[in-house]
Amino acid sequence: MMRFYMVFSEPQKAEPPILLRDGPSFAAPFFGPLWLMWHGMWLATALYLCVATLPFLCFYYITPAGDILGSLLSFTTLFALALEGNHIRAWHLKRKGRICEAVIAARSRDAALLRYWESLSPPDNQSEGGL
């Protein structure tokens, strides 16, 4: 199955590019804010914690069924993080100055990186049919 990968690189630095798979992040809902912090997304971590915990505390103290509503809201934020985690990470990389150079379709991450490096190399100037 072909997957799409976004290639982010720094324009002025010789750092290797970052490849992000377009689609849901399977690690994000299991690790939640730890996944966000691992990737250095501090603003997203703070927003996630506010969205996940503040309404939970409000529902818990206001209504008798607050623990159910709070748990449902917490599950909803985890589901949203699973669906949008890689897009939040792409937004974060753009904020840090990285440029999305290409979107590559490939079967694996390694194949996508190989296609990216091949696209940067200049074409051969050999004539067709010649020896």
- pLDDT attached to residue 62: 74
Could you give the CA distance from residue 85 to residue 91 in angstroms, rounded to a whole number? 10
- pLDDT attached to residue 126: 57
The dihedral of CA 74, 75, 80, 83: what is its sign?
Answer: positive
Q: Which two tokens stand for residue 39?
A: 């990737």
The residues near 81 (Cβ < 8 Å, ≥ 6 apart) are 25, 28, 29, 32, 35, 36, 48, 88
Which residue range is the domain that position 99 belongs to?
Answer: 3-116
Look at residue 46 and tell me if it is in a domain. yes
Q: Using an 8 Å Cβ cutoff, are 104 and 112 in contact? A: yes
Specify the pTM. 0.76
Look at residue 13 and tell me if it is in a domain. yes
**Residues of the chain scoring pLDDT < 70:** 64-66, 123-131
- pLDDT attached to residue 127: 53
Q: What total number of domains does the chain contain?
A: 1
Look at residue 131 and tell me if it is in a domain. no
Exposed, middle or buried, 91 (CB in 10 Å: 0-12/13-18/19+)? middle
